[in-house]
């Protein structure tokens, strides 16, 4: 190869190598610049995110949405930021937009509890009962770190109360049983579980749980009140009276149900171990109240056929209450109890609200009616 031609080739190689070096330098500079810009964007996004969270806490939904949109865009779609944006949208009532954001997130993380919780609450706020329950269940059976066990139990309580609001007591009861398997054994949790059992019409389980609480804390006012109400629901009026006598009267329903329990115990002519005169006196007292109830009804409404029949039954029974006529036979006493019961039922349908005594007399009649069947 001629020497001149070799020099040209050598020069071209040097130029090419120089260009390559420049390209590498330019790439590195561009990469570092892009990385620096990316870091700057992420820092700015984090600032906007914090701004959005503060506005959210202050219930300033418009400012929160604007800040979180910027944070989400600048971060390139950070899921944490997008979830916060969806919450802010839901807070402002933009449910459709919030739902779209959450569904997009759920496609990426279908088992994420936080995403499913927000979707469940969004649907629960609307009319999507079955959809809300499905999202609640997806959230509950997603991945929960061990340190979030109580949060998971709280979410299950939220689902239970939602089911109870829709009168889905059987499904709610299943969830309550699942809750009792996983929740902590603290007194407050035990009392809350008992309250949920009561709302689901399972007074027996409620009473069992509260009895265990009282073995540990016999003076716990909430447990005493709850146990009394549970015993009352189970027609165990002796236990109800005993628990409610020790419960604080400042708690809801305590005084009312204590009075009714005491009336059921002290006004029942069919109670065991009563003398003939005691049965007669109880029947007289109950018939007197039946008379008063019918008089009150006559003041409230025009006497209907049920009330007229009840009035006649009371009048026809009166002679049997005279000392010389009264016979301590189960048939006579049961007839008297049944007459008072019919008065209370007729009055409850047509007249003013019953007193605690009226409700107790209705219970006595119901108990007699159930036992005689």
Q: Taking the mean position of all CA atoms in its chain, how far away is CA 153?
A: 12
Q: Taking the mean position of all CA atoms in its chain, how far away is CA 19?
A: 72
- Delimit the domains of the chain by residue range: 41-108, 276-372
In angstroms, the CA 90 to CA 84 distance is 10
User: Taking a C-beta distance cutoff of 8 angstroms, is the pair 81, 75 a contact?
Assistant: yes
* Confidence grade of residue 20 (pLDDT, cut at 50, 70, 90): low
* Confidence grade of residue 34 (pLDDT, cut at 50, 70, 90): very low
Q: 250-280 burial, b for 16+ CB within 10 Å, e for fewer? A: ebeebeebbbbbbbbeebbbbeeebeeeebb
Query: What does the DSSP 8-state code read for residue 60?
Result: -
Supply the pLDDT for residue 242: 98
Task: Note the pTM of the prediction, 2 decimals.
Answer: 0.82
Q: How many Cα neighbours within 13 Å face the side chain of 194?
A: 27
State the Cα angle at 157 between 152 and 160, rounded to 5°.
130
* Chain length of the chain: 373
The third-level CATH classification (topology) of the domain covering 41-108 is 1.25.40
User: Taking a C-beta distance cutoff of 8 angstroms, is the pair 160, 137 a contact?
Assistant: no
pLDDT tens digits along 249-297:
999 999 999 999 999 999 999 999 999 889 999 999 999 999 999 988 8
Q: How many Cα neighbours within 13 Å face the side chain of 283?
A: 30
Element (H, E) at 103: helix 95-108
Please state, as a whole number, how many other Cβ atoms lie within 10 Å of the Cβ of residue 95.
14
pLDDT tens digits along 52-76:
888 888 878 788 898 888 888 887 7
Question: Which residue matches tokens 């059921």?
Answer: 264
Helices and strands of the chain, counted as H and E runs: 17, 0
């Amino acid at each position: 190869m001629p020497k001149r031609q070799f020099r040209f080739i050598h020069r071209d190689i040097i130029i090419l190598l120089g260009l390559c070096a420049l390209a590498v330098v330019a790439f590195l500079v561009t990469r570092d610049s892009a990385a620096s810009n990316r870091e700057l964007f992420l820092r700015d996004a984090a600032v906007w995110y914090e701004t959005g969270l503060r506005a959210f806490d202050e219930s300033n939904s418009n400012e929160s949405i604007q800040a979180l949109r910027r944070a989400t865009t600048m971060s390139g779609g950070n899921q944490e930021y997008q979830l916060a944006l969806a919450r802010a949208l839901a807070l402002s009532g933009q449910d459709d937009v919030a739902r779209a954001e959450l569904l997009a997130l759920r496609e990426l993380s279908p088992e994420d509890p936080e995403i499913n919780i927000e979707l469940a609450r969004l649907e629960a706020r609307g009319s999507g009962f079955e959809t809300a329950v499905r999202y609640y269940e997806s959230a509950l059976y997603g991945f929960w770190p061990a340190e979030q066990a109580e949060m998971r139990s709280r979410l299950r309580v939220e689902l239970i109360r939602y089911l109870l609001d829709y009168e889905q007591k059987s499904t709610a009861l299943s969830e309550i049983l699942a809750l009792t398997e996983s929740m902590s054994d603290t007194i407050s949790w035990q009392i809350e579980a008992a309250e949920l059992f009561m709302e689901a019409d399972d007074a027996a389980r409620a009473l069992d749980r509260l009895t265990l609480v009282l073995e540990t804390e016999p003076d716990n006012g909430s447990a005493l009140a709850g146990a009394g109400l549970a015993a009352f629901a189970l027609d165990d009026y002796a236990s109800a009276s005993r628990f409610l006598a020790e419960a604080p009267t400042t708690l809801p329903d305590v005084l009312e149900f204590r009075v009714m329990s005491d009336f059921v115990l002290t006004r029942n002519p069919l109670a065991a171990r009563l003398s003939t005169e005691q049965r007669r006196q109880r029947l007289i007292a109950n018939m007197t109240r039946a008379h008063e109830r019918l008089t009150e009804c006559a003041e409230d409404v025009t006497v209907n056929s049920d009330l007229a029949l009840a009035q006649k039954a009371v009048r026809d029974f009166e002679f049997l209450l005279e000392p010389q006529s009264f016979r301590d036979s189960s048939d006579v006493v049961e007839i008297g109890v049944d007459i008072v019961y019919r008065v209370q039922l007729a009055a409850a349908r047509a007249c003013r609200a019953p007193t605690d005594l009226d409700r107790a007399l209705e219970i006595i009649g119901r108990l007699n009616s159930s036992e005689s069947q």
